Amino acid sequence: MNTASILLQNQNFVMHPSGVLFWQERSTLIISDVHLGKISHFRKFGAAVPQKAVGQNFMVMTGVIQHFKPTVIIFLGDLFHSSVNKEWQFFEKWIATLTAKIILVSGNHDIISPLRYEDIGVQVSKEIIWEDFLLTHHPEEREGLFNFSGHVHPAIRLHGIGRQSVRLRCFFRTKNQMILPAFGEFTGNYTMKPTPGCEAYALLGDTVLQVPLKETKRRRRF
């Protein structure tokens, strides 16, 4: 497995192929847009999604937690896709196995009562400011702070010979911001448009790979 390291505001971060980000100095794992419950929600309305897919997110999260051994886990919103369903029971049991402090930065899909999260030991917050960093669900710009966010489900399209192309989930970094890829399955992605000075770190199998970007040129109109 090949991770990628990056230095931001004199702090060290590790990007993992699953889409999570590990803040070394604070022993903190940052995860965005898991969308637990979405598979059960789809199945309820007749979508042909295999039942075994329900456990995939939990299995991968457990793997990265065992790898990094964080003392804090922060979910950057949209942890649970909708109202309580069968996957909430899996979530409660999974949370009970963890020793790390768990914080949820609430997102637009997080409609489950914060009291229910607090009952199982999950702290809920609108945002987090630690040192020079602002952690939110929606991307934000705030003077003097570097923003970590989710919500967008960023991806980058890579082009090959001829008309061949592939779209990959990515960490998308600009001067004062990094948008994390969606962690959950069946979430969809949004293809980012390169801007001056941006960087993209694509998730390719078990590798995080920085990819060269070219700013999109506007066509002249005559």
CATH class of 4-211: alpha beta
Which residues, in sequence order, are bridge partners of residue 103? 74, 123
- What residue has token string 């506007």? 218
C-alpha span between 198 and 120 (Å, rounded): 39
Per-residue pLDDT of the chain (222 residues; tens, 9 = 90+): 899 999 999 999 999 999 999 999 999 999 999 988 765 544 454 444 555 656 788 899 999 999 999 999 999 999 986 666 678 888 999 999 999 999 999 998 788 899 999 999 999 999 999 999 999 999 999 999 999 999 999 999 887 666 778 889 999 999 999 999 999 766 789 999 988 899 999 999 999 999 988 655 544 443
Contact 147, 136 (CB under 8 A): yes
